[in-house]
Structure 1
Amino acid sequence: MSLDGKVAIVTGSGRGLGLAYAQELARQGAAVVVNDVDEQTAADAVASIEAAGGKAIAVVAPVGPTETAQQLVAAAVESFGRLDILVTNAGVLRDTVLWKMSDDDFDTVINVHLRGTFTCVREAATYMRENEIAGRIICIGSPTGQRGNFGQTNYAAAKAGIVGMVRTWALELKRAGITANAVIPVAATAMTATVPYFAAAVEADAAGEAMPPFFRHDLGFGTSDDVAGLIAYLASDAAAGVTGQAIGIGGDRLQLWSHPEAVATAYRDGGWSYDALAADFTEAVGGQLQTVGERFPPLPDELQR
């Protein structure tokens, strides 16, 4: 198995995408530290891995605090002898438009997604460097962090920040042989289940049926298991040369997201004053203004609800 002898932590892995990641890592031979805030949910996740012949333990704690990160790494080392892989998946949602978003709505999402990713990666990377382990850091992003999404100021900020941190960590950890990548999943989850556009796909998945090809191919929208293979690949020795990347996956589609680059450049002797911008902005760069948010094609008639 590709991860035989490796040890992984997967935060937020009691259910959904995180559980699929933990199960796939175990299927490929890794011992897994499962993490969730609910004790029974975590226990059920561990039981599912053990029932399939894998090895797992649970740490019940919310990510964000440094103490949780320390607890997770300590559990991996004490139970399985080492740590090779960290997948930061834990997250929460507090969706609402900007003018209705409270301080608590913003802080809660930033604390779990952004600070939780930072504290866990800091603890894991410190351990890996000190023990000369060429580890794997895999952080979970979102299309919202790449493109923005109505009602998700907090979530967009956190997920964009995660990708920015990954690029920085790829530079800082390269000498130690530790890779850092972001995965951008598109899959049926509790969040997408509330979106009418995805209803036919979510209903098919819940019934154990294949999703319509329109979703799997055209939209790159699939199941949690469709994402899990990429997590295991990035955790393996085969991906030793892949770092600092944002990689999208869902359904039948695999994507490599570009790093931000200037799409239009213009120069003016003496610089760009207000008057110069008012006169020439449109001609200089205005034709390359970028779109925001995701744009979906119309649903085929037979898939409309």
Structure 2
Amino acid sequence: MDLSDKVAVVTGSGRGLGLGYARSLAAAGAAVVINDVDAEAADAAVKQISAAGGRAVAEVVPVGTTSAAEALVARAVDSFGRLDVMVTNAGVLRDKVLWKMTDEDFDTVVQVHLRGTFTCVRAAVARMREQGEGGRIIVAGSPAGQLGNFGQTNYAAAKAGVAAMVRTWAMELARAGITANAVIPVAATAMTKTIPAFAPHIEALEQDGTAFPDSLRKGEGFGTVEDVAGLVTFLASNASADVNGQCIGIGGDKLSLWSHPQEVSVAYADGGWSADTIAAAWPVTVGRTPQTFGIPAPRL
């Protein structure tokens, strides 16, 4: 991939998946704006990319607000003259079961994941449309947003909203040559290290470089940050010009395409449905194919 003519913003890229995305984009030639709320992490990321021969600058700001989004776009334009790729990766977690989740827990996660994606993409699209040369919108989704997940009302709702926005933007931006897609990553990060089934494997990787077994890489589609980053670089490239409005999963040795929600079973009744007729018909019509919910527990 040759991205030497591209300029990208990657939110939440001081560490973890975001840093992996930024490093991959820079290695392919793109100039990158690193973003994080931690100035030291952002500066370290810039130094790391620069030391490898890449081009990078930092913008330290918490995503969510319009002013933050506009600052990120301005940083790209002021430093490199344009903006071609917006990667919205920044995120936080405030996991609690529903009856213990506070307003602040809910609002904080939605502010960063959902509103942050909206404001950053809106600001980026304004610049891309002004340039008139198309562009790439790449947002971070999650299996939780596709399936739901215990203790993650806020996070699952935000990520489901991100997927819906991508499908909407794919229609709205097509005429401008701007594509919008979501990456659904599964990788070893500080977040996934809290999952008991994954924790010992991640610790072994960190301590002595022990590779993940096939039960993880293939069975669970779970790998390293580097395993995921290539998808972002592909979606930023000209090779992905025909990929639009998709939610694409990646992790370990697994690449997948998530389906758009659709009707799977239908029944009709002349004159419409009452509560009684639904109760009678449910078990022998649409109720015969109930859909699953929740992320399956790892089977190792």
TM-score where L is the length of structure 2: 0.98
Give the total of aligned pairs: 299
Question: Could you list the per-position Cα deviations for residues 244-283 of structure 1 after superposition, in whole angstroms to 9, with x for gaps in the alignment?
Answer: 0000000000000010010101111011101101111111
Specify the code of the residue in structure 1 equivalent to 2:68: T
Residue 161 of structure 1, CA deviation: 0.2
The equivalent residue for 1:70 is: 70
Aligned-pair identity in percent equals 66
SS of the aligned residue for 1:156 comes to helix
**Cα RMSD, aligned residues only:** 0.8
Structure 1 unaligned residues grouped into runs of 5+: 300-305
What is the Cα deviation at residue 151 of structure 1? 0.3
* CA shift for structure 1 position 93: 0.3
Q: How far apart, in 2, do the equivalents of 1:146 and 1:204 lie?
A: 30
Match of 1:216 in 2: 217
Determine whether 1:186 maps to 2:186. Answer: yes
Displacement after TM superposition at 1:70 (Å): 0.5
d(CA) in 1 for partners of 2:68 and 2:34? Answer: 13
Q: Contact between 2:84 and 2:134, CA under 8 Å: does it hold in 1?
A: yes
Deviation per CA, 1:47-77, whole angstroms, max 9, x where unpaired?
0100100000000000001001000000100
Specify the alignment match of 2:201 in structure 1. 201
Q: 1:75-116 CA deviation, whole Å, 9 max, x = no partner? A: 100100100000000000000000000000000000000000
- Does the Cα contact within 8 Å between 2:197 and 2:298 map onto a contact in 1? no
- Mapped to 2, the partners of 1:180 and 1:209 lie a distance apart of 36
Q: Secondary structure of 1:130's match? A: helix
One-letter amino acid of the counterpart of residue 283, structure 2: T
1:245 corresponds to: 246
Measure how far apart 1:297 and its partner are. 5.2
Cα deviation, 1:26-66, whole Å, max 9, x if unaligned, reads 00000000000011010000001001000000000000010
Q: Which moved more, 1:277-286 or 1:137-146?
A: 277-286
Shift of 1:206: 1.3
- Structure 2: which 5+ runs fail to align? none
Using the size of structure 1 for normalisation, the TM-score is 0.97
Question: Match of 1:120?
Answer: 120
Shift of 1:25: 0.2
Provide the C-alpha distance between the structure 2 equivalents of 1:268 and 1:97, rounded to a whole number of angstroms.
Answer: 39
Question: CA separation in 1, counterparts of 2:63 and 2:5?
Answer: 26
Q: 1:32-43 to 2 correspondence within 5 Å?
A: 32-43=32-43
SS at match of 1:196: coil
Q: Which moved more, 1:56-65 or 1:204-213?
A: 204-213
Q: Deviations over 1:179-200 (max 9, x none)?
A: 0000000001111111111123
Contact 1:39 1:60 in 2 (8 A): yes
Give 1:140 deviation, angstroms. 0.3
Q: Does 1:263 align with 2:274?
A: no
Instruction: Give the CA deviation at 1:287.
Output: 1.1
Structure 1 runs, 4 residues or longer, greater than 4 Å off: none
Question: 2:66 is aligned with what amino acid?
Answer: T
Query: Is the Cα–Cα contact under 8 Å of residues 282 and 288 in structure 2 kept in the other structure?
Result: no
**Pairing 1:225–2:226 present:** yes
